[in-house]
Amino acid sequence: MAETGPDYAVETRALTKTYAGRDGQPSVHALHAIDLQVPKGAFFGLLGPNGAGKSTLINILAGLVVRTSGTALIWGCDIVGRMRAARRAIGVVPQELNLDPFFTPRELLELQAGLYGVPRARRRTAEILDAVGLTRQADSYARSLSGGMRRRLLVAKAMVHAPPVLVLDEPSAGVDVELRRHLWAYVRELNRAGTTILLTTHYLEEAQALCDRIAIIDHGRMIACDTTEALLRRIDSKTLTVTLDRPLAAVPDALLARFNAHLAAPDRLRFQYAPSQVHGGDILTAVGAEGLRIVEVSTREAELEDIFLALTGATAPALDDVDVTKPQPIEVPRGGPVEGIR
């Protein structure tokens, strides 16, 4: 697409969806006058609890659900008034693995390109299969592919018509860590090449690492939309944990009164403080003034999960209650060559 295109890749104005009630049940308001602007070239996160309205919004953009009122534009094209142009401007990677098991990846991509009216001379089937690491499996039936390969094939299908907007609906749900890393490496390459990414995910650490802007929907209403950095600044909170060379029976009175410290373990002091008002160095100086020797220091900044839980009214687990035996967040790759997704 030319640089003189629309200001926003996706834009909705007062977008509303109401599902009529059945068997005497009341109507369900899935979306309430959603105003959303996704800038061109953005890596945009759309977050919300289950049932918040994310899928309804995506399905309206994809043409699978009819809006009740309001407008929605994809690359400047109204999804109703310029339906064909809007459909050509968007590619959707669904959460479900909805592939025909009796087609090969090559056949599926050729069929998808034909459905979008891509002339044979302009089709990039081999190039796309190579980009997602499916060249060797290009002529194998889809039913013989692993779950990770099928996920890659969904991404490939969404890219056959070179859409400027790519929607990823929970793309890493139920996939292993290696696949997630390679999937995100490929998506980052697409984004750097100019493709606008709209991501929905329940992995908040991924959204924080990948997205430059984030919107949060709850009960069908937009409750936050800002840059990731600005959202993280909303919580003026930081945790500092100090491990000492000996156990304590109680928190020293001076530290309790000044910093509201508490014992996380017999040899571990934890401080929850506002960085705008207290400097971490002052805390360390105060600990030393009590004659305590510091062995180790760790800090925890406010994370997207804290913002999400605060805005949606959910309750976060206490830091001491977090099960450290659970799988830890993956490191999302930020550059380098794109390897095959397995």
pLDDT of residue 197: 96
Reported CATH class of domain 238-301: alpha beta
Identify which of 134, 127, 130 has the alpha carbon closest to the alpha carbon of residue 103: 134
pLDDT of residue 332: 40
Residues composing the chain: 342
Residue entry with tokens 């180790």: 296
Which residues on neighbouring strands pair with residue 271, listed in sequence order? 240
> Count of CB atoms within 10 A of residue 100's CB?
12
Identify which of 288, 287, 259 has the alpha carbon closest to the alpha carbon of residue 273: 259
This model's pTM is above 0.95: no
Tens digits of per-residue pLDDT, 101-154?
Answer: 899 999 999 999 999 999 999 999 999 998 888 899 999 999 998 887 888 889
User: What mean pLDDT value characterizes the chain?
Assistant: 84
Indicate left, alpha or beta for 133 from its phi (over 0: left) and psi (-120 to 50: alpha).
Answer: left
Structural domain boundaries in the chain: 8-232, 238-301
Which CATH number applies to 8-232?
3.40.50.300
Instruction: Determine the Cα–Cα distance for residues 317 and 7; give it in Å rounded to an integer.
Output: 41
pLDDT of residue 174: 63
- 3-state SS record for the chain: CCCCCCCEEEEEEEEEEEECCCCCCCCEEEEEEEEEEEECCCEEEEECCCCCCHHHHHHHHCCCCCCCEEEEEECCEECCCCHHHHHHCEEEECCCCCCCCCCCHHHHHHHHHHHCCCCHHHCCHHHHHHHCCCCCCCCCCHHHCCHHHHHHHHHHHHCCCCCCEEEEECCCCCCCHHHHHHHHHHHHHHHHCCCEEEEECCCHHHHHHHCCEEEEEECCEEEEEEEHHHHHCCCCCEEEEEEECCCCCCCCHHHHHHHCCEEEECCEEEEEECCCCCCHHHHHHHHHHCCCCEEEEEEEECCHHHHHHHHHCCCCCCHHHCCCCCCCCCCCCCCCCCCCCC
pLDDT of residue 336: 38
Angle subtended at Cα 222 by Cα 220 and Cα 226, rounded to the nearest 5 degrees: 155
pLDDT of residue 170: 83
Residue entry with tokens 């009740």: 68
60 and 36 Cβ atoms separated by less than 8 Å: no
pLDDT of residue 235: 76
Low-confidence ranges of the chain (pLDDT < 50): 1-4, 315-342
CA 179 to chain centroid: 16
Tell me, what amino acid is at 332? Answer: V
